[in-house]
Chain A
Amino acid sequence: QVQLQASGPGLVKPSETLSLTCTVSSYSISSGYFWGWLRQPPGKGLEWIGTIYHTGTTYYNPSLESRLTMSVDTSKNQFSLKLNSVTAADTAVYYCARDEEFERGPVGWFDPWSQGTLVTVSS
């Protein structure tokens, strides 16, 4: 059964870069599916950040696109997120999740999800 684990620093300073990695186990990301990042500010709702394929093809939320870079490392079975110029508004629990694949594109529903990792932006 596929499992995902998100990891990274829990504290990032304003204007710096937030970096997170998602490690996938019991499934090779090169075999298919798309892989996404989502976040949830404390006490608030869910926001889709972006999705990546093992080829490196990416799909970003337009509201974050100018600050966002996603990448994949198939040798480590991992995919990553970098969000630069962070502010307090980027404080959230970040999740990685698997997205279904259909006709070489993401479908857009996510299952399963990782446990979240809280990232706080503060000096």
Chain B
Amino acid sequence: EIVMTQSPATLSVSPGERATLSCRASQSVSSNLAWYQQKPGQAPRLLMYGVSTRATGIPARFSGSGSGTEFTLTISSLQSEDFAVYYCQQYNNWPPFTFGGGTKVEIK
């Protein structure tokens, strides 16, 4: 099973600033990496798949990069609605599909 590790666990950022979230896989997942956003009391929402392809309706301030075992989600200028928990997920080697433990982006 591929283990996904996200860092940091919590990221404190001021509105308008850039946020950089990291995700590491225990072995290569090629470019088969997705990101989700989850707000309190809500279901996760797909942000990105294939490392860097934004899902429908996702604003351009969200971008993804990386390949193999190291990945980054960048939010270029944090808006109030972006404060949430973010999860990475690999779909390269399965079963099972596996998720990281999440990074909480909070207001500084």
Given A46-B87, A48-B96, 16 more A-B residue pairs with CB atoms under 8 Å apart are A46-B44, A47-B99, A48-B97, A48-B99, A95-B43, A100-B49, A107-B91, A108-B94, A109-B91, A110-B44, A111-B45, A111-B46, A111-B55, A112-B43, A113-B43, A113-B44
Report the contact-size class of chain B (Cβ under 8 Å from the partner). 20 to 34
B residues in contact with A111, CB < 8 Å: 45-46, 55
Top 5 A-B pairs, shortest CB-CB distance = A108-B91, A111-B46, A113-B43, A109-B34, A48-B97
The interface of chain B, by Cβ under 8 A from chain A, is: 1, 32, 34, 36, 42-46, 49, 55, 87, 89-91, 94-102
Chain A interface, DSSP helix/strand/loop, else mixed: strand
A108 CB contact (under 8 Å) in B42, B55, B97? B97
The interface of chain A, by Cβ under 8 A from chain B, is: 45-48, 59-63, 95, 100, 107-116
Cα distance, A3 to B95, chains bound together (Å):
26
Cross-chain contact B91 with A115 (CB below 8 angstroms): no
- Which among A48, A59, A63, A116 has the highest number of chain B CB atoms within 10 Å? A48
